[in-house]
Amino acid sequence: MLKTTGATFLAIATSFFILLFSPPPKSYYHSLFISSSLSDNASISHHLRTLTRRPHVAGSQANAEAASYVLSTLSACNIKAHIVSYDVLLTYPYSRSLTLTPSPSEPPITFDLKQEIYEGDPYADVADEVLPTNHAYAKSGSVVGPVVYVNYGRVEDYGTLKEMGVNVTGTVVLARYGEIYRGDIVMNAFEAGAIGALVYTDRKDYGGGGGDAKWFPDDKWMPPSGIQVGTVYNGSGDPTTPGWASSEGCERVSIEEVESSGDVPLIPSMPISGADGETILRLIGGQIAKDNWQGSIDAPTYRVGPGPGVVNLEYNGKQVIATIQNVMGVIEGVEEPDRFVILGNHRDAWTFGAVDPNSGTAALLEVAQRLQKLQRSGWKPRRTIILCNWDAEEYGLTGSTEWVEENRDLLASRAVAYLNVDCAVSGAGFHASGTPQLDDLLKQAAQQVQDPDNSSQTIYEQWIQSTESSLIGRLGGAGSDYAAFLQHIGVPAADMRFGAEYPVYHSMYDDYTWMEKFGDPMFHRNVAVASVWGLVALRLADEEFLPFNYHSYALELQKRAEDLENEISDKGITFSPLFKSIEELSKAARKINNQKKEIKEAKGWTSMRRNDHVKVRELNDRLMMAERAFTDRDGLLRRPWYKHLIYAPSRHNDYGSTSFPGIDDAIENAKNLNTAESWHVVQHEVWRVARAVKHASLVLDGKLT
């Protein structure tokens, strides 16, 4: 009896000892991470001001200095940090000119193609360091032709012009930026027969709508001289190393091979200001454009042409193999160091980059500093956390793509998820996109963080009130650095930000002053982004069971498949194999959720928990690897780098987010050709996706057939 009593006392004493002296649960540290005691809006403001004091385009000395700042900040946080360099093909403008001849009897108008500094501009002393306005990877050449106005330059816009009897062949098109990726604007122009393309920012979309609207620095809108620059490359990564890393001394394809790839434009193009765009529009005759093609309330009447105004566009670029630098920071996991939770943001900017991308860089450094404070409090991650600051994203997601290509096999076997923040803040309102198994996690994180614009509610409450369509977007577009992770190797991914599109995007007015006045005056939104971003990462790194729910994935695929079936219901295409595979995925998702629940319920004392680690690891591996099964080694038809059959860009809009891109592309082609063979390709693509979904269900199930 005494022995039993003694044993019982010892067990109770041991339990109290464990409770008193064991480290706090991981949830304690997660709550601490998002607390006001750890966040620091002044520090974020300082980081942003430092990073944006000079323009820092990829390959420049200023961007190398920004890399050194990020490296030193990570190192100061006791995070093992290093630089990974690649030698990649970048382009810079050598010379450019644009003239407009109103009529044969009138002298030409010469455009200066400059963005004007404003009175009191604090960056006037470094304004000459801003790269002359251009399109990266634009075709060099000189073209002369009458102008045709093509609205946003979409495929459907050219369809409208064809219906109007307007022939685009041999003309220089004028398109306004807004609905699709600029590279697709130029590509669509080439396919329509144009010899050159001009892309401008319309006051209706970016200038406040005209009338009495003010512009920066008095308001948030783009000034009349503002020019949105950017890349027109339609690929990912270094164009000379398609599919492999641009390491020193590597194999490279020739410039001729790059041009024949279809990923770089074959006609010259140039970005121009809204003021210059209106000047050209005033000298275009012909039929009046449709109402929804017109501009702001005080803009001239838009006509489609062609002519009589004739444009002379000259552009010469220089191609350089330049060194880019990714900055990497690693916090090694204690229990599962071979499982990676990856956070990424890019550093390079076309100009000052206060919103794009350095609001995200400042948030990344804020996350790093908070993680250091957690480590001082005793926190250690279960899995490894990797902080990535990419270079040359603006040229074509280059830094992240080269790193993923170099580390493809290791990442494919070990990466849990990739969490991206590009433009962390451009205004109010939280937005998130991701692969569907992360939906619940994103919502739960948003429920724990206070809305920076209304302290009486959470971000989640603001989010659901302001969203009319789907709460969480998808990552089908290739708009940021998640592309290589998700669309090339199949790593679950998410992207988040405050604010949507902003008027001074990719212009020299995207500076610290704009952010301080209009984007986030108190830098509380920047703090909130860092909180959600870091909290999602902590849960993925620390929780024993990965917080994935593939039931959400099955529901998403079912809805999208039904939409496609309804779209072509009269074409004899059967979606039954896809629906069958989705049902199998749904069953596998329910099964693994139940298995997770059973293991949790079976857990007892700590001594018993050790016996379950193999089961937990095996279940987590299935959750992690299921996304990989949605990829196909052959990739999309004519776009083999994109391996993911569920999420990839639309063929005519690199920013466009679609589900089942291979099916979408095949349907578009079949509608144009309307042949038995083209519709057979649609059916084949349905089968391909059905097989991929079935593979994902088998991975989740964890058993061989």
Same domain, 203 and 97: yes
**Per-residue pLDDT, 537:** 98
Report d(CA 58, CA 71) in Å as an integer.
Answer: 16
- Which of 278, 393, 544, 556 is flagged as catalytic? 393
Report d(CA 512, CA 362) in Å as an integer.
Answer: 12
Residue type at 262?
A: G
Same domain, 686 and 563: yes
**Per-residue pLDDT, 2:** 40
CB count in 10 Å sphere of residue 257? 12
Same domain, 437 and 412: yes
**393 flagged as catalytic:** yes
The segments of the chain whose pLDDT lies below 70 read 1-21, 468-469, 604-611, 653-658
Same domain, 218 and 263: yes
Report d(CA 153, CA 194) in Å as an integer.
Answer: 11
Distance of CA 618 to the CA centre of its chain: 31
Q: State pTM to two decimals.
A: 0.95
**Residue 4 falls within a domain, yes or no?**
no
Same domain, 152 and 60: no
Contact 173, 150 (CB under 8 A): yes
pLDDT tens, residue by residue, 656-703: 666 899 999 999 999 989 999 999 999 999 999 999 999 999 999 999
Burial track 158-178 (b if 16+ CB lie within 10 A, e otherwise): bebbeeeebebeebbbbbbbb
**Residue 195 falls within a domain, yes or no?**
yes
Contact 287, 273 (CB under 8 A): no
Contact 174, 189 (CB under 8 A): no
Same domain, 176 and 297: yes
Contact 195, 172 (CB under 8 A): yes
**Residue 554 falls within a domain, yes or no?**
yes
**Residue 8 falls within a domain, yes or no?**
no
**Per-residue pLDDT, 6:** 52
Within 304-421, strands assigned E span 310-331, 336-346, 383-390, 415-420
Same domain, 487 and 602: no
Same domain, 538 and 556: no
Kindly state the DSSP code that residue 504 receives in the 8-state scheme.
T
pLDDT tens, residue by residue, 426-438: 999 999 999 999 9
Residue type at 183?
A: G
Residues 6+ away with beta carbon under 8 Å from 490: 412, 627, 628, 629, 630, 631, 643, 644
Number of H helices, E strands in the chain: 24, 16
Distance of CA 388 to the CA centre of its chain: 14
Domain boundary among the residues 521, 542, 563 is at 542
Report d(CA 312, CA 143) in Å as an integer.
Answer: 6
Same domain, 310 and 445: no
Measured CA to CA in angstroms, residue 214 lies from 207, 208, 300, 499 at distances of: 8, 7, 19, 20
pLDDT tens, residue by residue, 31-63: 999 999 999 999 999 999 999 999 999 999 999
**Residue 18 falls within a domain, yes or no?**
no
**Residue 13 falls within a domain, yes or no?**
no
**Per-residue pLDDT, 20:** 53
Contact 118, 247 (CB under 8 A): no
**Residue 284 falls within a domain, yes or no?**
yes
Per the listing, tokens 């045709």 go with 148
Query: Which of 415, 523, 498 has the alpha carbon at shortest distance from 47?
Result: 523
Three-state SS string over 267-279 comes to: CCEEEECHHHHHH
Domain boundary among the residues 542, 558, 580 is at 542
**Per-residue pLDDT, 15:** 43
> CATH number of the domain that 497 lies in?
3.40.630.10
Per the listing, tokens 């899995």 go with 383
**Domain coverage including residue 328:** 26-89+321-542
Q: Which two tokens stand for residue 436?
A: 């569907």
Report d(CA 166, CA 290) in Å as an integer.
Answer: 13
> CATH number of the domain that 130 lies in?
3.50.30.30
Query: Quick check: helix, strand or coil at residue 542?
Result: helix
Domain boundary among the residues 495, 514, 542 is at 542
Three-state SS string over 624-677 comes to: HHHHHHHECCCCECCECCCCECCEEEECCEEEEEEECHHHHHHHHHHHHHCCHH
**Per-residue pLDDT, 7:** 47
Q: Which two tokens stand for residue 641?
A: 């780098």
Kindly state the DSSP code that residue 300 receives in the 8-state scheme.
P
**Per-residue pLDDT, 656:** 63
425 torsion bin: left (phi>0), alpha (psi -120 to 50), beta (else): beta
Query: Which of 276, 272, 334, 290 has the alpha carbon at shortest distance from 138?
Result: 272
Same domain, 254 and 287: yes
Contact 251, 173 (CB under 8 A): no
Same domain, 150 and 296: yes
**Residue 19 falls within a domain, yes or no?**
no
pLDDT tens, residue by residue, 502-553: 999 999 999 999 999 999 999 999 999 999 999 999 999 999 999 999 999 9
Same domain, 428 and 507: yes
Kindly state the DSSP code that residue 387 receives in the 8-state scheme.
E
Number of domains in the chain: 3
Peptide bond into 308 cis (omega under 30): yes
> CATH number of the domain that 563 lies in?
1.20.930.40
**Per-residue pLDDT, 566:** 94
